[in-house]
A and B are shown apart, each in its own frame.
Chain A
Amino acid sequence: MMQAPQDSNLEKLQAGLAKIKERFVQSMPERVAEFDALMDQLYEDEDTEKVVDEICQRAHKLHGQAGSFGFAEIGAMAAKLEQNIRDVLDGPRPLNTEGIEVDLVAMLDQIDVSLNAT
C-alpha cells in the first residue's frame, strides 16, 4: 500500500521536482523562439495547416506541463490557444488564423510575465 514519503524521501522528491521545474524554465527561451519562428511561417504563407498543427502540438504540451510546475496562467493561455486551433481546424478552408495569432502573442507575453516574476 502506498505510503506518504518519509521526511528524507520528501526532501528528495522536492529536490527532484525542483530540478525538473528548473529544466522546464530553462527550456522556455528556446520554446519561445520556436513559437516565434512558427508565427513567422504563418505570415509567410507557408503550408498553413501544417504550421498551425505544429503550433497546436507545442501548445498542447505546454498546456500539460506549465500548470504542473506552478505556471497556471501560461497553462491556461496555452489551453486557450490549443482549443482555438482545434476549432479553426474543424472549420472551413482556407483557415482563418487571425485569432490563433492573437492567442499566440498573448501566450508568449504571458510566458515573459510569468518567467520574469520567478
Chain B
Amino acid sequence: MKFLIVDDDPVILDLLTEILSGYGYEDLVTATGAEDALNILHKQDAPFDCLMLDIQMPGMDGIELCRTVRQMPDYAETPILMITAMSDKPYIDYAFAAGATDYTVKPFDVVELMSRVRNVERNNPHGRMGMFDPTGRGATPKTGYDYPVPVTGSVNGFIRMTVLENYARSIQKQRIFAMVAFAIHIPELKEVHESTTSARFAKVLTGIARAISETLLGTQAFMSYIGEGKFLCICDHTRLMEITALQSELAMVLSEDEYVPSGVAEGGLSVIVGPACVPKAFDRPKDLKFIERALDGLESREASHVNRPARSIAARLFQRFSFH
C-alpha cells in the first residue's frame, strides 16, 4: 500500500513513518500541510492507496483537505484515516461528513493505529462509497436482496456500513453517549427487488435514502443501507424526534413523488422504524452492541405486530377505496 501522511508536526510524521515502515509499509510520502499534500496528489502518476490526515493544521485544515480530496476522481473511494488530537464529537462528525473512512485520536499506540490500518486495508477493495453501477441494466449479475447496495449519488449522511461502524466506534471510544442507533425497514423493497432490474432497484433505494436523510435533517445523522430492505441510522439522540412520530413523518415523506415514483410498489411503501438504542456505559466500542440491539429491536417490533407499519395516507386511501 502506498500512503500519503499529512501532518504539520514533524515529530508525528517521524512517528507514523517509523511505525508503518516497521510493519512493512515502505511506500510512504509525507506532507507538512494541506497545500503541500494537494501538490503531491496532483503530481502523482499512481494514486495513493491510503491517506492519513491531521485535522488541526495552519491554512487549510484536514477536514477541508479531506473534502477537497474526495472531489478528485482518483480519490473518491480511497481510504482516508484521520489522525488527530481533536476528540470532540463535532470534529468527528465533520470529518465523516467530509468523507473520512476512519478516525483515530492522538495520542495513539502502535497496536491501535495498526488495527485501524488493517481495517482500512481489509475494506479497501470495495472503497468507501463504491457506487453500485446504475447503468448496469442487467449486464452484471443481479445482487441478492440481502446485499447492502451502496446508495448511489451523494445523499447527505449516507456512507458505507463499514464506515458507519467506524464512525460509531470513534464516537463511542471518546465516551460520547449522545448518539442513538435505530433501523428502518421498508418491507415492499422485497417486491421491488424481485420485479425490477438492479439499476432500477438502486434508484429506488437512492430515493428512499434521500427521504430518510431529509426526515432526519438536523439530527447529525449518518446512515447506511444494510440489505433486506433495511437502513441503519445513527444520530444525535438529543435531536431525534419520537420514533412513532419519525415513522409517520417518513411514511408521509415517502408518499410524495419527489423521492420515489408512485406505483413503484402496489399500495405504496410502508415504514417500520425500530426502537432507538443508545450505547451503554459498559459496552465495549469494538462490539457495537447498541447497533446489534437496534437491529434486534426492529426484528422484535416486526415479529410482535404491536406496531403496525405506517403507510402513507395516500396508500391507505388507495387501499380503502380500490376494488379488487
Contact = CB atoms under 8 A, between A and B. Distances in A.
Given A2-B117, A5-B24, A64 B18 contact: no
B107 A68 contact: yes
Interface string B1-35: 00000000101101100110111110000000000
Contacts of A68: 12, 15, 106-109
A61 B22 CA distance: 24
Contact of B18 (A16, A60, A79): A16
Interface string B103-123: 000111110001001100100
Interface string A49-93: 000000000001101111111001001000100100000000000
A3 to B, nearest CB: 6
B24 A64 contact: no
Nearest to B115: A2
Interface in B250-282: none
Contacts of B107: 63-69, 72, 75
Nearest to B7: A64
Contact of A60 (B11, B15, B85, B108): B85
Contacts of B19: 13, 17
B85 A10 contact: no
A60 B91 CA distance: 15
A10 B24 contact: no
A2 B109 contact: no
B56 interface: yes
**Range for the number of chain B residues in contact with chain A:** 20 to 34
A20 interface: yes
Contacts of A9: 22, 24
A5 B23 contact: yes
Interface of A is mostly: helix
Contact of B22 (A1, A13, A69): A13
Interface of B is mostly: helix
Contacts of A24: 11
Contacts of B15: 17, 20, 65, 68
Contacts of A65: 9, 11-12, 15, 106-107
A64 B22 contact: no
Given A24-B11, A60-B85, A65-B11, A5 B22 contact: yes
Contacts of B22: 5, 9-10, 12-13, 16-17
Given A20-B18, A79-B85, A64 B12 contact: yes
B58 to A, nearest CB: 8
A5 B14 CA distance: 18
Interface string A26-48: 00000000000000000000000
Nearest to A68: B107
Contacts of B118: 2
A4 interface: yes
Nearest to B1: A2
A16 B22 CA distance: 9
Given A12-B22, A20-B14, A79-B85, A64 B109 contact: no
A9 B105 CA distance: 26
A63 B117 CA distance: 22
Contacts of A5: 22-24
A20 B106 CA distance: 16
B23 A64 contact: no
Centre residue among B9, B56, B106, B121 by max chain A CB count within 10 A = B106
17 contacts: A2-B118, A2-B121, A5-B24, A10-B22, A12-B22, A16-B21, A16-B22, A20-B14, A23-B14, A64-B85, A65-B107, A66-B107, A67-B106, A67-B107, A68-B15, A68-B109, A75-B107
Interface of A: 1-5, 9-10, 12-13, 16-17, 20, 23-24, 60-61, 63-69, 72, 75, 79, 82
Given A63-B85, A64-B106, A68-B106, 10 more contacts: A2-B23, A13-B18, A17-B15, A20-B15, A64-B84, A65-B15, A68-B12, A68-B107, A79-B85, A82-B85
